[in-house]
Amino acid sequence: MTGTVYLVGAGPGAPDLLTLRAARLLERADVLFHDALVHPGTLALAKRAEKIAVGKRCGRHSTAQRFINKRLIDAARRHTTIVRLKGGDPMLFGRASEEIAALEAAEIRYEIVPGVTAALAASAEMGISLTQRGLARSVAFATPRIGHGAGPSNWATAIAAADTGAIYMGAGQAREIADALRAAGVPTSTPIALVENASLAHSRSFVITLEELPELASEAFTGPVVMLIGAQFAVAAAAAGGRELQIHSPASQRPLATASK
């Protein structure tokens, strides 16, 4: 007999944005494999679990995916409830497909528990919808990050073709992203919102234009950043004038405030 591996979405950061199902599985977990940026309050829910960090962070020591796959299989052969906790949603830029393939090959049961992805939390943080009637009817999720050995990606073309774009894991590539979007035909006047640490108390947001994006290449971001691109952010861009926005209180109660600086 083997246990079940649950691929669980930890959401964008705030522990109270977990689904009820995710919270209950954390409470039951025998072993918890978690990403690097999962909130300590979320990890604290797994009171009885052995906690194992297997996160990946750009430019830092990371756990190889094949090793994570093996550890999940080994744990399932010794325990009943194994939780693989991933930031955001497991099925969006979470490499869930690789873990699923390994579990299926080993005939290990698994289930997927969705989570709130960062783009949705960032949109809620700012109070600006990713879709708007008559203005934005399509959304593209993309990342410029290319894995080792992978071929080139047409992510910029996908963003340019959609009414709204959400770019993940791109904070350190501001200049390259700006060049790629311009080459794909995105106007330099297009507004871009950058939200760091969406859903957390220390979140911060910038609203600029594509032309100004390279200026943020030297910005010292300490947490995950999602870039939101679309005409609906024009009002925020005009209010901010390319400066940092101050956001207060819980995300559900945070109005878009005037710019500081």
Amino acid letter for position 174: A
Strand order in the sheet with 81-86: 50-53, 31-34, 81-86, 4-9, 109-113
Please identify every residue annotated as catalytic.
35, 56
